[in-house]
Chain A
């Protein structure tokens, strides 16, 4: 495969295949540092606080949240959508970028996919705990029963059940299938012992056979082909949660693609935030380079701008529609009691990513880190704006009200961070953070200097 010399190398430094193995294996050996322990402890504490908050919710009732008769969803569903959105980067990177033959995906797809899975786990929590009667949550599954009561296939929330669970399943499959060869590598690095046995078990008996590789590639491609529309479908269906209603600000046809775009946007931002830290923390600077940064930032500009255009489209069509409710909903967003949320959203999502048009900024780790956090915040507020400001003032002014979260809702959100980071800390410790085999496959063409092992 020929690669134009004009292209920048993806992997810096002098690399041989074995160097790649060693570099990526390094963080998994030795004793973890203090920072790792501190981070894990913090994450576990947050997780425990979240679990306590969930306990309070279930025991006392959803009344412990700041919702009311007018605003049925608040932080809970905001967080759900936010986490699901974040959970779009991994599969987007590994599936869609695979289809588009973007080689830079190889350094980040593994950890991005892991983040996807963890984020979807966090996300999946919210539709469960936002139920008034969690113990009866199994009603949502169409299981055979004597009363012949099934579920309502018209309900987008039910679609969500199928979409999220399918997405989680397929993402886990995809991720794990990609991991098998690398776990094999780790297995083979380990000295015989219990650890080797465990990795041996987890590696599913990977041998590296050419036949396996061929099937593996074929499977990966088709799986990517399936995962690509699946990624679209997940956030599309999440957007249906809102867009199928008649509520102004919710019911608008642009939601499906716009949500997907927003999801990729926020997902990339989260991946960037974490990868910028991780590459430093576990010395992967050679593998996650400015080239990666630039490519990802380009996707951030693209998706961010799509989101921005969608905002403006919504705003304009609301006026254009001539429907008073639509018009009011958007005026209220921008200038109503929650104006600050709207402008945070606008600033963080539409304006800050535009800085990436400047080459210096999109190649700067520091700047990217800051902007990625802005985007994360902005995208959280986007969901908040959509959910809360649309609901709090809908059709009948008599029912208008205001929403403020309680500590319980905040606690659950903090708890999901705890869950996410607990899993992430464990992941970077026990699994190869970068897809070793995939990096090796592009090493020759894309490394700054490839060292061929002498005979």
Chain B
């Protein structure tokens, strides 16, 4: 009834080509920037973090619906599940960051009279940082595997206990992720601007990646439908996905404004330095980030109709996907490079990682039926509607 996905050679070839192009461009970019280690490592960090975060965001999507006892999402659940399996691969990229730590993080070599940075040494030191990075990757990998494993188990079993067990593990996931999502964002991103701090930062980064994950789900759903799969997905599902993209884009903007407004208002140099640097040296990109990631989905998806049409959804999702890439860029570049740089290296490395990411996704997606038919709420997914 539900056509199983086949990871055809055609797709493989396409993705390998994508990866090769990416790799070539990356190599060219790296060679061009051999004396700009900062830039190379910033790229590694950006793409490593962004796609890992998307994978975790997708896992979060699955988990939060398990806990919230949602029914509608079962029809598309296998997409985020497959996305989440990228975590260990993304984890490898993050381990690479440990190699380039020195070029990214100023705190690895604080000035001797920098009392503030020296005060942070118990937390921000290469050893502890590496341990934390490894722990995040290990814990996340374990969690996404666990959730995926149980979902797949449901294909061959209708035992309601499995359902309960999944819920329990989802609880574990949410607790661990609630902590690590913030701390990992502090570690990997916030500590780039090593004097700066913002309590909201972890949540801001989480929501940013969650929105990107929703966008990625929509994009992949579109791709799969184009390929003739996931035909069962109806307008109601798209409407719901659209609502997610719409709502969480607004929520992201809300957090962005909250953080910016509070810092703008108090105008304390130790905090404003972050935005001053971005406004002065990344002016266009900085404001583009807000406009793209808020206004675009807001305007496109406000109407009921657009949420229910795959093409509109796709446009919004693609904008948001690249928009949040920019969000990451604005977070990472000023503290590492200090100025905006965009070229072959950026295009290449993003293409490469995106290729790997998609390859991982399709491989995983092909491994299981496209829907969890034994899910107790599966039927609900086809008998509900959104209020007009």
List the interface of chain A (C-beta within 8 A of B). Answer: 1-7, 99-101, 154, 214, 217-218, 220-221, 228-229, 232, 236, 240, 243-246, 251-257, 298, 305-306, 309-310, 313-314, 317, 320-323, 357
B70: min CB distance to chain A, Å: 8
**Which chain A positions have C-beta within 8 A of B388?**
214, 217-218
Complex Cα gap A314–B199 (Å): 6
| Interchain CB contact under 8 A, B178 and A6 | no
Given A253-B259, A317-B198, A320-B120, 14 more A-B residue pairs with CB atoms under 8 Å apart are A2-B383, A4-B71, A4-B377, A6-B376, A7-B377, A218-B387, A220-B387, A232-B254, A256-B255, A257-B258, A305-B175, A305-B178, A309-B182, A322-B116
Complex Cα gap A198–B384 (Å): 38
**Which chain A positions have C-beta within 8 A of B68?**
100
| Interchain CB contact under 8 A, B123 and A320 | yes
**Which chain B positions have C-beta within 8 A of A2?**
379-380, 382-384
Known A313-B199, A320-B123, A322-B116; contact A253-B160, beta-carbon cutoff 8 A: no
| Interchain CB contact under 8 A, A313 and B202 | yes
| Interchain CB contact under 8 A, B383 and A1 | yes
**Which chain B positions have C-beta within 8 A of A228?**
247
Complex Cα gap A254–B261 (Å): 12
Complex Cα gap A240–B261 (Å): 9
| Interchain CB contact under 8 A, B255 and A221 | no
**Nearest B-chain residue to A102, judged by Cβ:** B68
Q: Which of B71-92 contact A (CB under 8 A)?
A: 71
* Binary interface encoding of chain B residues 259-272 relative to chain A, with 1 for a CB under 8 A from any of its CBs, else 0: 10111011010100
**Which chain B positions have C-beta within 8 A of A5?**
376
- Chain B contact residue count (CB 8 A cutoff): 50
Complex Cα gap A244–B178 (Å): 26
A325: min CB distance to chain B, Å: 10
| Interchain CB contact under 8 A, A253 and B201 | yes
| Interchain CB contact under 8 A, B255 and A257 | yes
| Interchain CB contact under 8 A, B270 and A323 | yes
Q: Which of B124-159 contact A (CB under 8 A)?
A: none
Q: Which 5 A-B pairs have the closest CB atoms?
A: A2-B383, A254-B199, A322-B116, A253-B200, A6-B376
List the interface of chain B (C-beta within 8 A of A). Answer: 67-69, 71, 115-117, 119-120, 123, 160, 163, 171, 175, 178-179, 182, 186, 195, 197-203, 243, 247, 250, 254-255, 258-259, 261-263, 265-266, 268, 270, 376-377, 379-380, 382-385, 387-388
| Interchain CB contact under 8 A, B387 and A217 | yes
Complex Cα gap A323–B250 (Å): 32
- 10 pairs across A/B with beta carbons < 8 Å? A1-B385, A3-B380, A4-B380, A244-B262, A255-B262, A257-B258, A313-B182, A313-B202, A320-B123, A321-B197
| Interchain CB contact under 8 A, B178 and A257 | no
Known A6-B160, A217-B388; contact A254-B382, beta-carbon cutoff 8 A: no
**Which chain B positions have C-beta within 8 A of A252?**
199-200, 262
| Interchain CB contact under 8 A, B67 and A253 | no
Complex Cα gap A314–B198 (Å): 9
**Nearest A-chain residue to B264, judged by Cβ:** A244
**Nearest A-chain residue to B124, judged by Cβ:** A320
Checking B116, B182, B376 against A4 with a beta-carbon cut-off of 8 angstroms, the contacting residue is B376
| Interchain CB contact under 8 A, A251 and B266 | yes
Checking B175, B197, B255, B265 against A320 with a beta-carbon cut-off of 8 angstroms, the contacting residue is B197
Known A4-B377, A217-B387, A254-B203; contact A317-B197, beta-carbon cutoff 8 A: yes
| Interchain CB contact under 8 A, A245 and B160 | no
| Interchain CB contact under 8 A, B116 and A257 | no
**Which chain A positions have C-beta within 8 A of B115?**
322
**Which chain B positions have C-beta within 8 A of A3?**
380
**Which chain A positions have C-beta within 8 A of B243?**
99
**Which chain A positions have C-beta within 8 A of B119?**
322
**Which chain A positions have C-beta within 8 A of B258?**
236, 253, 255-257
Complex Cα gap A232–B258 (Å): 11
Complex Cα gap A194–B272 (Å): 65
| Interchain CB contact under 8 A, A6 and B268 | no
Complex Cα gap A1–B382 (Å): 9
**Which chain A positions have C-beta within 8 A of B265?**
154, 244
**Nearest B-chain residue to A256, judged by Cβ:** B258
Known A305-B175, A313-B199; contact A229-B379, beta-carbon cutoff 8 A: no
A290: min CB distance to chain B, Å: 15
**Which chain A positions have C-beta within 8 A of B203?**
254, 257
Complex Cα gap A321–B201 (Å): 13
**Which chain A positions have C-beta within 8 A of B179?**
309
